[in-house]
Amino acid sequence: MLILTCPYCGVNADETELAPGGEAHLRRAGPDASDAEFEAYMFERRNPCGVHFERWRHAAGCGKWFIAARATDTLEVFATYKAQCTAPPADVIRAIRARRPDWEGWK
């Protein structure tokens, strides 16, 4: 069972309390984006086998959105952080590097 710590209320919530929300840090294509850019924003996904940044909502708790950095090939969780971050914070990157020295990095 996946257990994530909600960065707002600090609760260790198991996945039955949480709602998954897909890949994090997607940037909405602007009004003059091309069809290809909009398609990429809407549909194309990294779907990595390894380090993944993913949106979750503490649905049966405080109700807030947050982001989890975790591994899709082992189900290890590296860190969780608030949804207001537009990129993974430095301490999250450090936590991932500590566990995955050969990680290719974010983006």
Partner 1 sequence: MKRYNALAILREGLRLHRGWPRAWASPEPKSEYDVVIVGAGGHGLATAYYLGRNHGITNVAVLEKGWLGGGNTGRNTTIIRSNYLQDPSAAIYEKARALYETMSRDLNLNVMFSPRGVMMLAQTEHEKRGYLRTAEANALQGVETEFISPARVKELVPMINLEGPRYPVLGALWQARGGTARHDAVAWGYARACSDMGMHIIQQCEVTGIERRGGRVSAVNTTRGRIGCGKLALIVAGHSGRLAEMAGFRLPIESVALQAMVSEPIKPMLDVVVMANTVHGYISQSDKGELVIGGGADGYNNYTQRGSFHHIEETVRALCETFPAIGRLRMMRQWGGIVDMTGDRSPILSKTPLPGCYVNCGWGTGGFKAIPGSGWAMAELVANDAPGPLAAPFSLSRFREGRFIDESVAAGVAH
Contacting positions for partner 1 (CB under 8 A): 1-2, 15-16, 19-20, 22, 35-36, 39-40, 42-49, 52, 54, 72-75
Give least dist CB 90 to partner 1, A: 24
Judge whether 54 and 80 are in contact, CB under 8 Å.
no
Question: What is each CA distance from 74 to 50, 52, 62, in whole angstroms?
Answer: 8, 11, 28
Phi-psi region of 21 (alpha: psi -120 to 50; beta: other; left: phi over 0): alpha
The interface region with Zn ion, picked from 18-26, 44-52, 58-66, 88-96 by CB under 5 A, is 58-66
Which of 74/82 has CB closer to partner 1?
A: 74
Which of 4/93 has CB closer to partner 1?
A: 4
Count of residues that bind Zn ion according to CB under 5 A:
6
Quickly tell me which residue has 């086998």 as its tokens. Answer: 49
